[in-house]
Every structure is written in structure tokens, then in C-alpha cells.
Amino acid sequence: NGSDRATTFISTNQLTVDILASDIANEGAATLTVFSPAPGGGTSNTEGFTILPDQPGGSTTVDFDTPAPPGVDFDLISGVFEGLDFGATDWRWESAYGPNPTNHIYFDSNVGTSRTFQFASQPAVLTGMTVFAFSNGVLTLTDSAGQTYSAAIAPGSLVVIQTGWTLPADTVTVDFSAGWDLGVDDIQFQ
């Protein structure tokens, strides 16, 4: 936001900058530019980012174990559960299955390759989740802020996903090219 900060050159594609606590004390939009002195220097294009408010406890993880969703294995998980709105008929939950030794969710049927969930009380940042598959496929996560994460998922083991997202969004879409052969657990957001 126009104030100089100590910067360290790492490579032609990377710098680090010392950000003060006061720089990120207030939520809202901020801008970053890089300036190199003459000869040959100049000012870079402006890059914007959002400073999110502090959340009590930092982040939230929905693990589907404590508490377990209402009902019994294979029931629909509908409405709001632990801060996430799963809609009415998009997701089901089950206990330990395959490589996942705990409760988790999966698509309600084999029709289609994607399902959504929303953050119930306010926009949030999806920071990660754990997934597993029974067929090879490509997992693509997108959100209403335009952020995307994609990875190939092979069957047989738990895969920890870290989105690297920074913008809060209302809705997240989970798409798996092999449809409902995907289990989802430990959804993390802040």
C-alpha cells in the first residue's frame, strides 16, 4: 500500500518481503508493487490481495467424527453441518470404508461428476481436505471466487489436499472425473 518494506532477492522469479503485523492488522484490500532502482529499474504492475479477519481458533476442520452427522451410515447429509451447508440431496456420509478409517462424505449417487457445498455463516477460504478414490480420476475444486485446484487421484490411499487459496468464497464445487468413486474427509476452512 505504498510503504517501503525490507525485501530479499531469492531468484529472478521470487522475492521475500518483511510484512509488519500492522500491515495486516485490518481486514480489506491491499496492494503490492516492487520497485528496482536505476539503471534498468522501475516499478512493477500492482498485485492486489485480501487481508482476512482473524478467526477465533484460526481455522475449522470438519472431520465428520466429532460429532458424527445425524442418522446412520449412508444417510443423506443435508442442510448445515459444522458450518458447511451441504444442500438437501447432494451428499451422503458413511463410517470407515476403504483406506479411510473414519467417517467421511461422498456423492449421493453415481449421476454426475460434481457436487457443491456452501459456507453457512459467511464467506470463507477452503484451505484443504483429505480425499480418497476407488478409481483413477482428476479432482478439480473450484469456488465462487474463481479459484481452482486440480490433481490426479489414484485409488487406494488418503491424499491430503492443500488448495493454496487466499480469497474467501461462498460456494465450493467438488468435481471428480470418476464420479462418486471419491470420498471426502477433514474439510478445512478459515
pLDDT for res 25: 67
Task: Report the mean per-residue pLDDT for the chain.
Answer: 89
Cα gap 107→139, rounded to integer Å: 13
**Nearest residue to 190 (alpha-carbon basis) of 30, 47, 50, 67:** 50
Map residue 23 onto helix, strand or coil: helix
**pLDDT exceeds 70 at position 21:** no
Tell me the pLDDT tens digit for each residue of 60-87: 999 999 999 999 999 999 999 999 999 9
Q: How far is residue 123 CA from its own chain's centroid? A: 12
pLDDT for res 38: 83
pLDDT confidence bin for 105, thresholds 50/70/90: very high
Instruction: Identify the burial level of 87 via C-beta atoms within 10 angstroms of its C-beta, where 0-12 means exposed, 13-18 middle and 19 or more buried.
Output: middle
Contact 179, 110 (CB under 8 A): yes
**Nearest residue to 75 (alpha-carbon basis) of 85, 89, 96:** 89
